Amino acid sequence: GRGGAFNQGTRAMSSAVARSLRSAPASARRLPGRAVLSRARSTAAVGVADDAEPQGSLFNPTAEHYALRELCAAFVRDEVEPQALEFNRAERFNHPLFRRAGELGLLGVTVDPEYGGAGMDAAAACIVHEELSASDPAFCLSYLAHSQLFVNNLARNGSAEQKAAWLPAACSGEAIGGMGMSEPEAGTDVLGMRTRAEQQADGSWLLNGGKMWITNGAVSDTDLGDRYLIYARTAGPEVVKASKAVSLFYVERGMAGFSLGQRLKDKCGMRASPTAELVFENVSLPAANLIGQPGGATVCMMRNLEIERVVLAAMGVGIARRSLEAMNAYATDRRAFGASLRDFGQIQRHIAESYAEYMAGKTYLYQTALGLDLDAAGNRLDTDGVKLYCTTMGKNVADRAIQVMGGYGYMGEYAVERLWRDAKLLEIGGGTLESHHKNMVRDMSQLDAMP
């Protein structure tokens, strides 16, 4: 356990759950399907009904995890699902819904209660991402950028003074955060970044450069988000190791020289999650805005990439679950050639293989999450591995759902085509599949035997 802080945070979370669910019957605490699929909404056949995941199970390790899942499921059913299609079609960020997530205590799920968080663990973060992405992966992606790339990153790497100053508003939803790592010419080759911060005589830093593909970089076509953690080079070519040349800084909206380059629209998927280019032109940063030590950000980066990859895997699991529910229910309802669609071998293969892959991925996910120490690095083999498997698995299950549902699956009303489009990003963002291959094989060179 995490001791007093963990217990205090989870007790508070449990109270919020009780309040949120007081009016919801147990049978209604799971994400509903589209109306056309309502007759087959009992999901006992595919093992995703509430009673299939009791507290004390791998997927709900404690009563607090179970309560968190119930809270998220109710939030998704009542508030996330009704808006998902509208906001994705309009490519709009749902700011009020984001603030509502803050009111429920979800934005700081891995942050100590001292700073406004719930004090929970990586498994809890996976539960939230799984539940949200089963309805609206785009909203979940913005949630991820805020709760993990900004909030958890600062909680793990900031000083007590920095955390006290910047975390409470981020945990409440008052401020929207993100993180800037990628650049137009530095994606997987992140240490090749060109954004640079130079220390001035008075100890302050002057930041110049730009960041690309930044989730929550804007909240509208014209407005920046509120707060960002930005990686920048602080050493020149005289530093032999590139990993010693990068530092992390806190930057906020309103600083002179910090502007929105462009909001990036017309994306394949994740359309309700705003993506932007950020521009820094002689942005003066106080010395107190340096996170950690100069040149010490690579460890911060690697540590936070591990939890980022695990929750991206959780998003793949959520997409797979919703897609599996949809195709399973549709195959029961739909009749062809005088028989239920699920009686045909071709359809059975799609459903059965999807279930097996979904359960394998979900098991790998929570096994990895439960072994992940958020305050330590060195878990790359399985954090890369679970993202490698679950993200492609989620995309493939969504693809099969469209195939099973035919023309209906291809229409926006039935959700699976949106899930399919959204799923592709998970194979790119947070580390490409190819980078995972490289990292994993490199780490496996140190193994004498497989686990």
Catalytic positions, please? 308
Q: How many CB atoms lie within 10 A of CB 14?
A: 18
Q: Among residues 307, 311, 385, which one has the least CA distance to residue 127? A: 311
What is the DSSP-derived secondary structure letter of residue 289? G
Question: Is 206 in contact with 273 (CB distance < 8 Å)?
Answer: no
User: SS3 of 172, please?
Assistant: helix
Q: Which residues contact 84 (CB under 8 A, 6 or more apart)?
A: 135, 136, 138, 139, 272, 415, 418
Q: Whose CA is closest to 274, among 218, 211, 213?
A: 218
Concatenating the DSSP letter of every residue in 213-278 gives EEETSBSSSS-B-SEEEEEEE-S-TT-S-GGGSEEEEEEETT-TTEEEEEEE-S-SS-TTS-EEEE
> What is d(CA 85, CA 42) in angstroms, rounded to the nearest whole number?
23
Alpha-carbon span 314 to 307, nearest angstrom: 10
The answer to whether the beta carbons of residues 189 and 246 sit under 8 Å apart is no
Question: Closest Cα to residue 353, out of 406, 315, 314, 399?
Answer: 399
Burial class, 261, CB count within 10 angstroms (exposed 0-12 / middle 13-18 / buried 19+): middle
Q: In whole angstroms, what separates CA 325 from the centre of its chain? A: 21
Q: How far apart are alpha carbons 200 and 211 in whole angstroms?
A: 22
